[in-house]
Amino acid sequence: MAKTSLILILTFFITQIINCAEISGKPKIIDGDTVHINTKKIRLEGIDAPEIKQYCKKPFLKISVFIGFQFSKDYLCGVTSKKRLTNKIDNSKIRCIYSSKDKYKRYLATCYKDNINLNKWMVRNGYAVAYKRYSKDYVRDEDYAKENKLGLWEGSFLKPEKWRKLN
């Protein structure tokens, strides 16, 4: 019984490793969680970035530390997210490891510039959130960004998934 369970588990993991494949090249950045390499559309797996037309709020003037009043301004956080990913990649080649596609036929992948996991970098710096519905891989990185008020977490925003439902 134990041998059978072990064989099944090992078979599952070996199948997953075999099913992984790589796409590499200079990407065209579509938004904060989607890139195209040649004709391949790639969705950064486990993260959700604001949409290009999505507005968020960030503080720009604090009146008093004691009163806690501050002025906020709207900004296109989806555009900011795309710019940050574009700047991070800096016209370099990236490599994306994928094992499946989503319902839109995009490759679901973890992408790297050199040894930097770009999915993780986007969440840890607050330019995307962990897409907890599909993965728990970047929850700690989101917590870090939130605690340090980085990127989106500096102000207020609707989670991208909720924004899409409302728009």
Q: Other C-beta atoms within 10 Å of 35: how many?
A: 28
Per residue in 63-85, pLDDT (tens digit) is: 666 666 778 899 999 999 999 99
| Longest Cα–Cα distance in the chain | 68
Q: By the 8 A CB rule, do 54 and 77 touch?
A: yes
Judged by phi (left if over 0) then psi (alpha if -120 to 50, else beta), residue 56 lies in beta
Per DSSP, what are the bridge partners of residue 31?
34
Cα dihedral 57→163→54→88 (10° resolution): 90
Helices (H), strands (E): how many in the chain? 5, 11
- The whole-number pLDDT of residue 14 equals 42
- The whole-number pLDDT of residue 131 equals 98
Residue 151: DSSP 8-state: G
Per residue in 80-131, pLDDT (tens digit) is: 999 999 999 999 999 999 999 999 999 999 999 999 999 999 999 999 999 9
**Domain regions of the chain by residue span:** 20-51+81-166
- Identify the sign of the CA torsion 94, 163, 60, 47: negative
Per DSSP, what are the bridge partners of residue 24?
95
* Per-residue tokens: 54: 């999505």
- The whole-number pLDDT of residue 20 equals 82
Say what percent of the chain tops pLDDT 70: 84
Which of the four CATH numbers 2.60.120.260, 2.60.40.10, 2.40.50.90, 3.50.50.60 does domain 20-51+81-166 have?
2.40.50.90
Tell me how far apart the alpha carbons of residues 52 and 35 are, in angstroms, rounded to a whole number.
13
pLDDT of 146 strictly over 90: yes
pLDDT averaged over every residue in the chain: 89
Give the pTM.
0.84
- Identify the sign of the CA torsion 58, 81, 50, 122: negative
Cα dihedral 27→33→39→40 (10° resolution): 110
- The whole-number pLDDT of residue 71 equals 84
Q: By the 8 A CB rule, do 130 and 122 touch?
A: no
